Amino acid sequence: MKKRTFHITVLLLFVAVLPSYAAPPQQQTQPSDLEVLSAFENAIAKVVDQSKPAVVSLSMEKAVGEDNNTQSGGGSGFIFDQSGYILTNAHVVEGAKNFRVELFDDSIYDAQWVGADKLTDIAVLKIEGAEALPMLRIADSSDVRVGQFAIAIGHPIGFRYTVTSGIVGGIGRCFHEKNDLFQYHHNYIQTDAWINPGSSGGPLLNIKGEVIGVTALNPGEGSTLAVDSGLAKKIAHQLIAHGSIIRGYFDAHLHSVSQGLAVVEVGPGTAAARSGLQRDDILVEFDGEKVSALSAFERRVMEYPIGKRCALKVLRQGQEITRHVVIDEMPLELVGRTVKTEAAAWQTLGLAVRKLAADTHQRYAYLTAEDRGILVEKVKKGSPGFKAKIPRGALITAINGQDIVDPQTLETFLQTEQDISEITFDMKGIHGREKVTIQL
C-alpha cells in the first residue's frame, strides 16, 4: 500500500513538472522605440483633448490714450470652478470692460469682473448664465518637480487653442518688473513650454491634465514663467471673497544679515517708528517665531491681521530687547490700486475710501462680522481729513448721524450738503469707537 502511494506521488510530480520542460516560458518582449513614443504622444494628446473645453478665449474693450478711446483686446483663461469662475492674468484684463468669453464649442458668454491683484498678476472673472461648465483641477504646486513635463494651452492672436510643451526648468523663480509695486514673491515656475502673445492667462498643465501654473511672462532667453498654482488658487479665492487682496505691511527698510533682519531706515511717523525701532537694530523674532529670510518675513507680515499688535525681539548693540508694533495695511500705490481723484471724498475731505465687503472683517483685528461702513484707504497730507487725524484703516460708520454703507452714500452726502462748514464721523479703529469732527 505504501509502495503504491509512493508511485502515485512521483507520477503527480512528474506531470506537474513536465509542462515546464515541454513548453519553455515565453520571454517578455520590451516595447519598441516606436511603441514608447506612441504611448507618450497619445498621453499628451489625451491631456490636450480633455483640457481644451475648459480653456477659454477672452475678448474685451480697453481704454487707451488721454481721450480714453477704446480698442479691443484679448487673452486666455481657464475655468477652475463649475460656478463659472475663470482664472487669468491681471495684466490681461487691466483697465478693461465688457468682457466676453468664448468656449471650445464656440458658445459666447458675457463675464463679470470679480477682482485682480497686480502683485501676483492674477485676476478672476465670472461667466454669467452658463450651466454644466467644464473645469480644470488645480494641482498642489508643492508637488511640482524640476524636469517634469509641462503643457501650455492658450489663444495667441489668430491661432485659437495653441499647444506648446516642454519641461519644468525651475521653481520658486522671481521676476522683478520695473515698476513701483511691492515685489515679494518667488512663486514663478520656469518652463520652456513657449507662451505666445495672447496666450497669457492660460493653464500650464502636468501630464495628468492638472493645472500647475497660470502662464504669465515671456522674458525671453528661451524660457517662460507661470504663476504657480498654489499662489494662484489662494489669490483667486481671496478675490472671490473680498474683490481685492488685503495685505499687512511693515513700514521699515530691512535687509538680511546672519543674525536676522537689520533695520536700515525707519521713516518718521511710521508704525515702526512708533514701536521704538531704530536704525541698526536687528530683528530676530516676530510674534514668537524666529526671523530668517526677508522674503519669508514679508510674506508672514502680509498675511498677518491688520491692526493687530505683535511683539518683536530685537538685538540692539548686542542686547536683546522687546518692542511692539501694530501691523498696518499695505499702501495703495504698492499694491497697484489708485485713488479716484475725481471723487468728492478725495477732493473735499482728502479721503480715499472703499466699501467694507463681505468677510473683509476677517483681515482686520478690530472689526467684526456685524460692522458696516467704509474703510479709509488713504489720507491726503494737509487735507481736512489729515488735520482731523483720521487714520488710514479706520472704518467710517456714519456721517452727521446718517449711516454709511458704501462710498456712494458719502459721495451723495458731500454733493448734496455743500454749504455745511463741518461734519462729524462715527468711526471704529484700533483704539475703539470714536467721533471725529472735520472742519471744511
Q: Supply the residues annotated as catalytic.
A: 91, 121, 200
d(CA 228, CA 209): 15
Three-class SS of residue 195? coil
Q: Nine-digit cell at 285?
A: 523674532
> CB of 165 within 8 A of CB of 48?
no
| Cα 322 versus chain centre, distance | 33
Task: Say how far apart CA 282 and CA 23 lie, in whole Å.
Answer: 80
Strand 252-256, strand 248-249: pairing: unpaired
CB distance 301 to 327 below 8 Å: yes
Report how far residue 412's alpha carbon sits from residue 397's, in angstroms, rounded to the nearest whole number: 15
Residues sharing a CB contact under 8 Å with residue 394, sequence separation 6 or more, in sequence order: 375, 376, 427, 428, 429
What element of type H or E holds 34? helix 33-51
C-alpha cell at 313: 525681539
Calpha distance 365→378 (Å, rounded): 19
If residue 413 lies in a helix (H) or strand (E), which one and from where to where?
Answer: helix 407-416
Q: Copy the grid coordinates of residue 231.
A: 499662489
Q: How far apart are CA 404 and CA 388, in angstroms?
A: 19
Grid cell, residue 153, equals 494651452
CA-closest candidate to residue 367, choices 358, 378, 380: 358
Measuring CA to CA, which residue among 373, 350, 379, 351 is closest to residue 360? Answer: 373
Give the chain's end-to-end CA distance (angstroms, integer): 123
Expressed in percent and rounded to 5, the helix, strand and coil fractions of the chain are: 25, 35, 40
Whether the Cβ atoms of residue 392 and residue 376 lie closer than 8 Å to each other = yes
Q: Decide if 234 contacts 87 (C-beta within 8 A).
A: no
Distance CA 12, CA 96 (A): 85
Residue 37 three-state SS: helix
